[in-house]
Structure 1
């Protein structure tokens, strides 16, 4: 009987203690929740700034004051080809989301269940919760920044080529280009913005680009051009001789890719320009005959037959001559004629089609 009484007494004491503890903890939790209602709890920091007791609006202002200046810092990307591109961090499309940070801050020390809530609150008294900025990117703005970076840092390869100077064929050696390797750039920007330096430099790796045309690809074109320059063309017309030596023929030679091969060829436009200069000295422009529109008989202006160099014929013969055996080729320029047309005009008005006497 006495033993049972003692057990009941001990059980009652234990229950009383437990209930008292639960009551005290509940009271503590109620007071704590009231004290920090809609506020951040103890021991929560952002960038070493204590956020305890701050409302959402106050915390947002603190966070923005910490992160907004970082966006104005300068970012310089440097490539190993010596080029660099400067922008602000804001221009990269990076930004901070204060609302997400605030949501994390308000989740500290809170839980819907009683005992997990007590555990969370206990942790806040013993453990400092440091929130760090979590940058994000606007993809459209970042892609625009990346395009500008590539335009400023990429270096296109230079193909080997041929040119002619003072009658000599010059070989222009090609050079490798580079393109930036931007695969890790976004992560590097997100890391470096937290450095808080006014100017941050990122060394960006590059990949070499080999030119399409190497010097050895020019040999056939060079041989062709050299054979062209060994010719001399003499054009005869009206007892006059017009000589196209190597310096003139050099101006007729073009280089470039044709059918995926680097080649030399005779530029027809350049040859026609040369023939045009000869034509300007020898061509006779046609003059139309003008008769009176009143009687359809009186000749007001005598016409004149036009005489012109046949440039199409001359062009074909020049190309054929340069394409054959080396040496001097003499080409007799041919001329064509053009008869004048008869035009009716009024004596006092010149050529006015569709007009009538007295109008």
Structure 2
């Protein structure tokens, strides 16, 4: 049944009612006498969970509406790409035509591919896998994603150091310092998945090989990518944004590549003043497209916070396409970030597109294996991906420490 705008409006209306009820009950909890506090606290927590559920339902409906309006793929394919796609599906189903497929692969793909390590999937299927990963992965949605033909990607960055000065009309112009330029290289890793199908499934004329393979691969890849792009250590995987070193030093006092963190002043907890301080530690030039990033446990706690005037810091998005906000900025939930425990770097605020870059190496590859797990046919699927910090001033972190 297709999603319509009115479906989202109904959910948004209920979300608004529940949030209003939640705020009223929470106000009563704060002012309640001791013997009633326990009962109200339980009700507030229940409503908090309901608000969270409705917010997610609204976001899911909006995403479904967006997908239904997305133009279907497949148009504008070259004859070589269409022939490669057909041959690939035939090979996946029957295991025949590998030599023909390799010839078609070299004609259909714009990037060089090795002769070993399996066969490259058709470009349209590769793009569909990447699109599914983008839909399922918060870091892919919030950071900059760059497709490339190989692992040789590098980026030149300005690490500062340029100076200038004022002079009179006839004064000497002494030489100024030149900017320090540096070359950044991503930490790459190879993801793999090994989905299985029976030959009966593959023989079924109604079995959609592309949808099955892309769905299975997305399920395996998305969670691993989320963790790697967030906290990955860079060993055979991307180095995550929050795996880079951080210090208390301000932007002008820190070395490039080191993030800044603030401390909450209380082990495992935070308050509205901490969030406000974190927000304004980010320079104005970055705040225009900034967002909060935290996991659901921490968001649950942030939703209870109020400012000095008694206004809640978190507000639900009630209009179509309007996200929920914390202190006026959007919220990205990332379950790879830690819970609110002592010394956790649990909350981030920043312009993630400027801070971190994800590098997609075009060319997902598949090795068909009908022997290892008879009667199942396994499809060993690999994809190379990288990640790197590109601007260490674009994100600030709150550490929940005393």
Normalised by the length of structure 2, the TM-score is 0.21
**Higher fraction of strand:** 1
Please identify the structure whose Cα radius of gyration is greater: 1
Normalised by the length of structure 1, the TM-score is 0.22
